[in-house]
Amino acid sequence: MLRIMIAKPANSRHSIRSWTLRLLLLTLFFVHAQAQADRAEALFQQAQQAEQKGDSGKAAQLYQQLIRIAPERVEGHANLGVILAHAGDLGEAEKQYRIALRIAPDNSVIQTNMAILLYKEAHYDQAAGLLTAVLHSTPGQKQALLLLADCDLRLGRAQEVITLLDPVYAADPANRAVSYLLGQALIAVGNAARGAAVIDRVLRDGDTGYAQLLIGARLYDRGKSQLAAVELRKAVALSPQLAPAWSLLGRALLDEEDFSGARDAFHHALALDGNDFDANLYLGGSLRHDGQLDAALPYLQKAYRIRPDAAQTAYQLGALEAARGNLQEALKYLEPVAKKWPEFQQAHVQLASVYQRLNRLEDSRRERQTVIELDRKERQTQKRSGAATE
């Protein structure tokens, strides 16, 4: 026999109390959330007012309070980063920018600010990556364009600078900054004639340090170090704050074997721009060559940090570590150089010596044979060149 079972209703009083409690909790949650949002907005407004009054310290404190109660507020992290960067606290500023970029990865303003900070820290490759993204989303953004070109120049990527700036120069040949960067890039790739044409407007400005630098660069590119040094001395006399002129003067004086004058010029360049790649590299290399290893190390490390893929920086550090007796550390620098640039004769010379000291005799013999072969090729090239000019 089937029985019909009728479910008993739940206790109506208990059910009402339960729903009432849930509604109360939900209401309290929304009230608290709204209060937090109002508090966050008030802090943001107060921080902006403090900034407008020039009270960066107070603004920073308010932004810190803001991101504690509302860590998702991207403008709190971004604006705090700007204040910290201006105060010179680059490490903490970078931390805030990175948080902001995790929240808003495509924000071009934050990307640009982060790139400027990385540029100041000589992380040019990372800065260039961010600036490329900015220009992709905001084509023609002048600050990002010029900073990217400067980064590429410092990284030795002159052809990328030409590709980037050629259209800009065609549209606005009177732009002095574009002309300077493009002219420098053209000279760097060996196109001195077009480089001269691009910077002609600058040269017509008169006998300025800026113009003298470009004249000196053209002479140096043609192998006329002595004449280049004359023009570059004029450049630094006219514009003592022109760091690239001091740096190039140092290189010209090195070629003329004026080692004391060259070091003095490099020191001037680095006092104006501590991240000048050439000044760090050649000053460090000169000191290493004279056996001043401890003095050379920080300059070569800085050059390597700026351009870790440059043959000369790795070679110089490898040679320095070999001279200090750190043979395994020397190999970490020298072996990749010899592999990537097999025609780099001095790298093979250093490797032969290091392998000999490590009792790796077969490796040492192989490197010595490579040196002999490269020397033979060089003599043949010189012989053919001499015959062609006769």
Instruction: Give domain limits for the chain.
Output: 309-390
Q: Which two tokens stand for residue 50?
A: 């403090």
Does 33 have pLDDT greater than 50?
Answer: no
pLDDT at 184 over 90: no
Q: What is the pLDDT of residue 387?
A: 52
Comparing C-alpha atoms, which of 308, 277, 301 is closest to residue 150?
277
Q: Which pLDDT belongs to residue 304?
A: 93
Q: In the prediction, which pLDDT does 88 show?
A: 83
Is the pLDDT at 13 greater than 70? The verdict is: no
Would you say residue 363 has pLDDT above 90?
yes
Q: Confidence class of residue 35 from pLDDT cuts 50, 70 and 90?
A: low
Over residues 210-221, the pLDDT tens digits come to: 778 878 887 887
Q: Percent of the chain scored above 70 by pLDDT? A: 86
C-alpha dist (Å) from residue 348 to 139, 168, 285, 345: 46, 44, 17, 5
**Model confidence at 294: pLDDT above 80:** yes
Domain 309-390 sits in CATH 1.20.810.10: no
pLDDT score at 272:
94
Q: Tens digit of pLDDT for each residue in 322-335?
A: 999 999 999 999 99
State mean pLDDT over 154-160.
Answer: 92
In the chain the first and final C-alpha atoms are separated, in Å, by 125
- Comparing 13-22, 39-48, 95-104, 153-162, which segment has the lowest mean pLDDT? 13-22
Per-residue pLDDT at 93 exceeds 70: yes
Residue 140 gets the label, from left (phi > 0), alpha (psi -120 to 50) or beta, of left
Q: Which residue did the predictor score with more confidence, 17 or 132?
A: 132
Split at pLDDT 50, 70, 90, the class of 205 is: low
Whether the CA torsion 186, 155, 86, 69 is positive or negative: it is positive
Whether 389 has a pLDDT exceeding 80, the answer reads no
Q: Is pLDDT at 3 greater than 80 in this prediction?
A: no
Whether 111 and 130 have beta carbons less than 8 Å apart is answered as yes
- pLDDT band at 10; cut points 50, 70, 90: low
Mean pLDDT of the region 194-215? 72
Question: How far, rounded to the nearest angstrom, does the alpha carbon of residue 103 sit from its chain's CA centroid?
Answer: 24
Crossing angle of helices 142-154 and 176-188, in 10° steps, is 20
Task: Considering only residues 325 and 90, tell me which one the structure prediction assigns the higher pLDDT.
Answer: 325
Using the predicted structure, report yes or no on whether residue 104 has a pLDDT greater than 60: yes
Q: Is residue 390 very low, low, confident or very high in pLDDT (cuts 50, 70, 90)?
A: low
Residue 312 token pair: 């000369």
Over residues 266-289, mean pLDDT: 95
Instruction: Report d(CA 332, CA 153) in Å as an integer.
Output: 27
Residues 312-324 have pLDDT tens digits of 999 999 999 999 9
